[in-house]
Amino acid sequence: MTSCAAPKPQKETGTSMRRGTCPSLAAPMQTGDGLLVRLRPAADGLTPAELRALAEAAAAVGNGIIEVTARGNLQIRGLTASSVPALAAAIGEAGIAVAEGVAIETPPLAGVDPSEIADPRPLATALRAAIADRRPALTLAPKLSIVIDGRGRFHLRDVAADLRVEALNSEDGLRWLLSLGGTARPERPVVLLETERVVPAVMELLAELDALGAAARGRDLDADRIRQRLSADRDALPTAGGGSPFLPAGIHDFGDGRIVLGIALAFAQTDSADLIAFLHRAEELGATEIRLAPRHGILVLGLSSAAAAIAQRLALSQGFLVAPDDPRNHIATCAGLACASALMDTKAAARSLVEVGADLLDGSLAVHLSGCAKGCARPSASPLTLVGAPSGYALVVNGTASVAPSAYREEHGIRNALAGLNALVRENKDAGESARACLTRLGTARIVAAFEQG
């Protein structure tokens, strides 16, 4: 999970609307449906009762909509300036500690996943302590993030980070690969470190970012110069490898009776009442811990195999994603009309895509539906991105929501446009070919024609 360094509230309202800041209890963000607060529990997970208390508070003081973001953050919507303190009080009464400061992310099942090379949590704890003890305090970009990954089944390879530390098995034993990330350029490996050198090396890079200014990100660091400073080894650095992105939905068996039930929020949102009902039943079935996960996931620990199957059926009946082959797993949507910036009802468009896009949604690509050009739901490029525009919808092929569109379509023709893209794949896909490979082979011109003429 992740969080953002809390910015100072604006003096006028105590809310933040500046892009690049992060909504928190101290600085909620103004959106189209009221104020939004993003929370990251300080503990590895929550008890079912604790998450239920958060859901009950969301219904009592907000509009009842709860989101788990693509990075595994919890968001509560529909708040007002007068109800944010009530939310903070409810969190305190539930005994939930909320993490603040630099986002240091570990995989959602760190310490549970037996396939991980090393448990990354001790390094994360040591790094948080070093940052907290640093004097003078560091001033870093609000959305700067650090990933420390033990490289288990539920890894964070597909989660962008400014600084990334990944466990590797080497000839000399456990080592940690330190890389510079960011969205502007490919990840750049810097140095292979023994465990005791990781925190000092990361602190050195954070101090350099602090010196560059409050907006500096990992992409702004000079990888070659840092490599020369931190390592005498001039050989080519190993790579941690891509790894297949994990989908949280499903029943995950880790052996020896260790079962994890994964569900995910359809289009990143759920109603508090549905979540509360699910948590009540899961707790009755034996659930002991809930961990939030990237890709809008909720992981339930403590269930037996039989109990997990019962809880999974209940989750499906309440609209949650429960299986990796659910096509909704492959649609990335922002809040849509709940955001003041949105020009598209992304949730309605997503439902239409599910109805007409079975061939597109084969799991080989993610279709990004963005209410505006900010592209909050997916900062990285997608094969297909649909963006809200004043006159309808814009299509971006192999790009982010912010780049120049390849085509436009009027508002009332979007369902036909999506059906046209699906038909393009269905009618041209070779045997065994994925939707992504088919679209790549056909090229932008054919995609644009299908979108405009569908």
Q: Is residue 37 part of a domain?
A: yes
Looking at the structure, tell me whether residues 302 and 359 fall in a common domain. no
What pLDDT is stored for residue 302 in this prediction?
Answer: 97
Q: Is residue 15 part of a domain?
A: no
Q: Which residues pair with 271 in a beta bridge?
A: 65
Pairing of strands 173-180, 188-193: antiparallel
Q: Is residue 11 part of a domain?
A: no
What Å distances lie between residue 180 and 128, 143, 144, 217, 405, CA to CA? Answer: 19, 15, 12, 9, 30
Looking at the structure, tell me whether residues 361 and 315 fall in a common domain. no
Which of 280, 305, 324 is at the close of a domain? 324
**Alpha-carbon distance 142 to 130, whole Å?**
18
Looking at the structure, tell me whether residues 262 and 289 fall in a common domain. yes
**Alpha-carbon distance 395 to 447, whole Å?**
10
Which of 200, 230, 260 is at the close of a domain? 230
Q: Is residue 14 part of a domain?
A: no
Q: Is residue 5 part of a domain?
A: no
Instruction: Report the SS3 class of residue 180.
Output: strand
For the chain, residues with pLDDT lower than 70 are 1-21, 182-186, 232-236, 239-244
Looking at the structure, tell me whether residues 364 and 426 fall in a common domain. yes
Looking at the structure, tell me whether residues 172 and 116 fall in a common domain. yes
What pLDDT is stored for residue 47 in this prediction?
Answer: 97
Compute φ and ψ for 130, nearest 5 degrees. Answer: -65, -40
Q: Domain range for residue 77?
A: 29-101+248-324
Instruction: Report the SS3 class of residue 107.
Output: coil
- 427-454 tens-digit pLDDT: 999 999 999 999 999 999 999 999 999 8
What pLDDT is stored for residue 158 in this prediction?
Answer: 84
CB-CB contact of 300 with 308 (8 Å) = yes
What pLDDT is stored for residue 196 in this prediction?
Answer: 97
Looking at the structure, tell me whether residues 349 and 298 fall in a common domain. no
Q: Is residue 57 part of a domain?
A: yes
Looking at the structure, tell me whether residues 345 and 442 fall in a common domain. yes
Looking at the structure, tell me whether residues 380 and 283 fall in a common domain. no
CB-CB contact of 174 with 117 (8 Å) = yes
| CATH code assigned at 156 | 3.30.413.10
CB-CB contact of 328 with 263 (8 Å) = no
Looking at the structure, tell me whether residues 346 and 381 fall in a common domain. yes
Q: Count up the domains in the chain and report the number.
A: 3
Which of 279, 298, 324 is at the close of a domain? 324
| CATH code assigned at 89 | 3.90.480.10
What pLDDT is stored for residue 288 in this prediction?
Answer: 98
Q: Is residue 136 part of a domain?
A: yes
